[in-house]
Amino acid sequence: MSRRHKLASMALGGLALGGVVGLVFAAQTLVAPGQQTDSAQGVKAPLTVEDPAVTRGRYVAIAGDCAACHTDPHGGKPFAGGYALQTPFGKLLASNITSDKATGIGSWTEAEFTRAVREGKGKHGENLYPAMPYNAYVKVNDQDMHDLWAYMQTVPAVDNKVVSNQLPFPFNIRLMMMGWNLLFFDKTPFVPVADASAQINRGAYLVQGLGHCAACHTAKNFLGGDKGGAFLQGGELEGWHAPEITGNRHVGIGVWTPAQVVQYLKTGSNDIAVASGPMAEAVTNSTQHMSDEDLLAIAAYLQSLPGSERSKPQPLAATEPVMQRGANVYSANCAACHNSDGKGINQLAAGLGNNPGIQAENAQSLMTTVLEGGRSAVTLDNPTSGAMPSFAWKLSDEQVAAALTYIRNSWGNAAPAVTAAQVADTRKDLKLPGQLGQAAP
């Protein structure tokens, strides 16, 4: 799955930096601890492979998924920038953050680097655009920032001049970000959860800060700021719905065991769900490389959150005409992989029964996946992953809507019906052809 869907809908106010680099490329992107740069490019003192700060900093970079957007997957050098972030307001290019003095951050001080990451201020005090999620990274502690700086100094210098701001007028005026920051940038550092265990607080630190999970999983207003009272209760990206990931037992992950959460984040799948789209990218590039201890902490924190008050509705009756049509479409097109009982195939095809993601109020991700197809996360534990073909050419809008309505109301699921009009809009947004023999939308 390309980064296009993850980034095209980013408001300037802070959807996650993310993207797909691929398993092998991701392994190459994060430089081995101690790899040296040319001292002429701004590294003041050699750092050896034994330096614990570099080792810790590399892990911080992984947890923060820094390489994903600061590396152009089309032949770009690690961290050299140039990847185009498509936003509703225009295009931004991710900056060069290698140790090159002329075009990267080789001439920066540690204080300037820390200010940029945590406060959204460039070397000369200019406002950065919050497509770089400094509103989450503000919660990264001093030790992790120091270690990240130590690691970044080991990244080889690349001479690659990037003009990041390519937005049209008036959005290219950085002073506008002063207003956004005033409205939406909470500069409060990480505050431990009161009366919570050390494990939950470690999870809270990772989720709120380095993991910047709210960037996708929290709904945004029209300016890209987080909607109040909706923390991690689901958000929309172009063509995708990032589901609720709280302890809500209907649409969240409250019914998952901690082991299932860890398996999902480590391999990209468990017996309930398979990561796809932007989440597959996050697993491939970041969470699969994190320690089980940290993944368990993330699970403990997320499941401690009460989440939304959305409850389970009554499912549509199997005798409803739309359910009968959907059952026929499912049997002919979906059952071969997902099975007639909706249980799927472990690590290949998602299980569909009693699945919180399937039951999300917003069915955008389901429509995108059926129409466009996709591939689940590629990980060390699941190197082949699973893929789903596009059905845009084969199924009409009515057939897709009926099949999804059937899936969302079978095997213990209960969710609103999907309409043909919703599918048609999604097909148009994705610029996909109509059913074979039918005119494109």
- In angstroms, rounded to a whole number, what is the distance separating the alpha carbons of residues 384 and 346? 12
**pLDDT at position 376:** 81
Q: What's the pLDDT at 213?
A: 95
192 within some domain: no
Check residue 49 and give its pLDDT.
52
Within 191-249, strands assigned E span 235-237, 240-242
Beta partners for 387?
Answer: 375
Q: What's the CA gap between 374 and 395, in Å, rounded?
A: 16
> What are the DSSP calls for 78-138, one per residue?
TT-B--EEEETTEEEEPPP-SS-TTTSSTT--HHHHHHHHHH-B-TTSPBPPTTS-HHHHT
Write out the binding residues: 66, 69-70, 213, 216-217, 334, 337-338
pLDDT score for 131: 80
∠ CA 280-307-267, nearest 5°, is 20
Nearest in space to 355 (alpha carbons), one of 295, 429, 267, 276: 276
Residue 379 inside a domain? The answer is yes
Residue type, 151: Y
Same domain (yes/no): 11, 102: yes
Least confident of 40-44, 80-84, 295-299: 40-44
| The one-letter amino acid at 214 | A
In this predicted structure, what is the pLDDT of residue 385?
A: 73
pLDDT at res. 7? 37
Look at 424 and 78; give whichever has higher pLDDT.
424
The rounded mean pLDDT for the chain is: 84
Read off the pLDDT of each residue in 100-123 and give the average, rounded to a whole number: 94
Could you tell me if 171 and 33 lie in one domain?
Answer: yes
Query: For a pLDDT cut of 90, what percent of the chain falls above it?
Result: 52
Residue given tokens 């399937």 in the structure block: 358
- 238 and 110 share a domain? no
The predicted structure's pLDDT at residue 366: 93
From CA 372, how far away is CA 293, in angstroms rounded? 36
What's 283's domain CATH number?
1.10.760
Q: What mean pLDDT do residues 387-408 have? A: 95
Higher pLDDT among residues 383 and 116, named by residue: 116
Which residues share a beta bridge with 84? Answer: 93
- Confidence grade of residue 78 (pLDDT, cut at 50, 70, 90): confident
- Same domain assignment for residues 82 and 174: yes
Question: Does some domain include residue 438?
Answer: no
In a domain, 434, yes or no: no
- Reported as a single tens digit per residue, the pLDDT across 225-249 is 898 889 999 888 766 888 999 999 9
pLDDT at 351 over 50: yes
Query: Is 134's pLDDT higher than 70?
Result: yes
191 falls within a domain: no
Q: How many CB atoms lie within 10 A of CB 324?
A: 12
| pTM value > 0.95 | no
Task: Tell me if 440 is assigned to some domain.
Answer: no
Residue 171 pLDDT > 80, yes or no? Answer: no
Mean pLDDT across 341-349: 83
Mark whether 54 and 168 lie in a shared domain.
yes
Residues 205 and 238 in one domain: yes
pLDDT, greater one: 27 or 305: 305
| Lookup: tokens for 98 | 């290698």
Does the residue 147 lie in any domain? yes
Domain match, 25 and 173 both: yes
- Residue 14 has what pLDDT? 32
Q: What is the pLDDT at residue 37?
A: 40
Is residue 174 included in any domain, yes or no?
yes
Residue 412: which CATH number? 1.10.760.10
Dmax over Cα atoms in the chain, in whole Å?
74
The last residue of a domain, from among 154, 184, 214: 184
73 pLDDT more than 80: no
349 lies in the same domain as 272? no
pLDDT mean over 335-364: 87
Q: Could you read off the pLDDT of 192-213 as tens digits, one per residue?
A: 999 999 999 999 999 999 999 9
Domain count, the chain: 3
- Domain of residue 117 covers 4-184
pLDDT of residue 25: 36
255 and 176: one domain? no
What residues contact 420, with CB distance under 8 A and at least 6 apart?
396, 397, 398, 400, 401
Q: How far apart are CA 10 and CA 13, in angstroms?
A: 8
175 shares a domain with 60: yes
Let me know whether 28 and 152 are in one domain: yes
What is the predicted pLDDT for the residue at 85?
Answer: 73
Q: Binding site for heme c: residue ranges?
A: 66, 69-70, 213, 216-217, 334, 337-338
Is residue 266 located within the same domain as residue 344? Answer: no
Token pair for residue 354?
Answer: 């009693």
Gap between the Cα atoms of 245 and 233, Å rounded? 6
Question: Mean pLDDT throughout 1-29?
Answer: 35
Distance separating alpha carbons of residues 392 and 435, to the nearest angstrom = 6
267-321 pLDDT, tens digit each? 988 888 888 888 888 998 899 999 999 999 999 999 999 999 888 899 999 999 9
- Residue 6 in this model has a pLDDT that exceeds 50: no
